[in-house]
């Protein structure tokens, strides 16, 4: 079951295939998930559309002519840092995912996963979570054992409370949910989250979660099969 969105988000679809845009737009309308207020076939067109519209969310293809999704994402977030972007790709390469996460996207889904991924991703992202396709998460987790066994966290000291909060973050809990579970204030959770980002030298929460997985701070088996927050 999809997470509840109190108000349907205003959305821009950026993809160089017209039939994909039309199909996605029709599904979002039929399922009453989002209001599509603009479309673009490449990054340059998107920037023009973005200037005249203020969407809540963008579905951004990566591989496009003229200006690709990475460059468009970087430019858009420089103008509107709070803009929520879900990256869309034909490729499950981890590096694509890492690069888009570093730029600040809130989700990464694959076209090969089908429309169901988008239907799940949009509510999660609009409710403050991040969403990553199952295939991407499985690949990241499966590749953990192939990485160097030397833990970067040998040089990072985390308190017991920080480790506890990090575990909840990796399990997909929001700030308010963590606060309720641990009987502390949301402000305290946010403070710990900021400290964790600083200590792990990560620029956002999704990158920190990947860092925690790679450095054995959390058990991969406890990761949600669908999402990380």
Q: Kindly report, residue by residue over 4-47, the tens digit of the pLDDT.
A: 455 789 999 999 999 999 999 998 988 888 999 999 999 999 99
| pTM exceeding 0.85 | no
Report how far residue 101's alpha carbon sits from residue 91's, in angstroms, rounded to the nearest whole number: 15
Question: Tell me, what's the pLDDT at 59?
Answer: 95
Task: Assess whether pLDDT exceeds 70 at residue 223.
Answer: no
Question: Tell me, what's the pLDDT at 143?
Answer: 66
* Greater pLDDT, 112 or 68: 68
Q: Is residue 29 located within the same domain as residue 80?
A: yes
Q: Would you place residue 161 in the very low, low, confident or very high pLDDT band (cuts 50, 70, 90)?
A: very high
CATH number, residue 169:
1.10.10.10
Task: Assess whether pLDDT exceeds 90 at residue 147.
Answer: no
SS3 90: coil
Task: Please say which residue of 133, 164, 190 terminates a domain.
Answer: 133
Report how far residue 69's alpha carbon sits from residue 129's, in angstroms, rounded to the nearest whole number: 21
Q: What is the mean pLDDT of residues 190-205?
A: 89
* Structural domain of 215: 143-228
Task: Please say which residue of 76, 105, 133 terminates a domain.
Answer: 133
Nearest Cα residue to 25 out of 59, 67, 63: 59
Task: Assess whether pLDDT exceeds 50 at residue 153.
Answer: no
Q: Is residue 41 located within the same domain as residue 122?
A: yes
Q: What is the mean pLDDT of residues 185-207?
A: 89
Task: Assess whether pLDDT exceeds 70 at residue 155.
Answer: no
Would residue 4 count as lying in a domain? no
Per-residue pLDDT tens digits for 76-90: 999 999 999 999 887
Q: In Å, how far are 127, 168, 209 from 182, measured between CA atoms?
A: 21, 10, 20
Structural domains in the chain (count)? 2
């Amino acid at each position: 079951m999809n997470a509840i969105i109190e108000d349907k988000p205003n959305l821009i679809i950026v993809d160089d295939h017209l039939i994909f845009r039309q199909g996605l737009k029709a599904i979002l309308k039929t399922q009453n998930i989002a209001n599509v207020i603009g479309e673009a076939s490449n990054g340059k067109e998107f920037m023009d559309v973005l200037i005249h519209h203020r969407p809540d969310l963008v579905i951004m293809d990566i591989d496009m002519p003229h200006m690709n999704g990475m460059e468009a994402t970087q430019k858009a977030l420089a103008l509107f840092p709070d803009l929520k972007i879900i990256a869309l790709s034909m490729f499950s390469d981890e590096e694509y995912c890492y690069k888009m996460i570093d730029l600040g996207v809130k989700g990464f889904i694959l076209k090969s996963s089908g429309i169901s991924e988008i239907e799940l991703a949009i509510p999660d992202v609009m409710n403050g979570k991040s969403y990553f396709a199952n295939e991407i998460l499985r690949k990241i987790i499966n590749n953990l054992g192939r990485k160097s066994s030397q833990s970067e966290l040998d040089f990072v000291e985390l308190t017991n409370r920080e480790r506890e909060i990090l575990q909840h973050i990796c399990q997909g809990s929001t700030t308010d949910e963590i606060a309720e579970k641990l009987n502390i204030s949301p402000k305290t959770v946010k403070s710990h989250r900021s400290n964790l980002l600083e200590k792990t030298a990560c620029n956002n929460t999704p990158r920190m979660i990947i860092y925690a997985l790679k450095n054995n701070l959390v058990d991969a088996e406890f990761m949600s099969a669908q999402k990380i927050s």
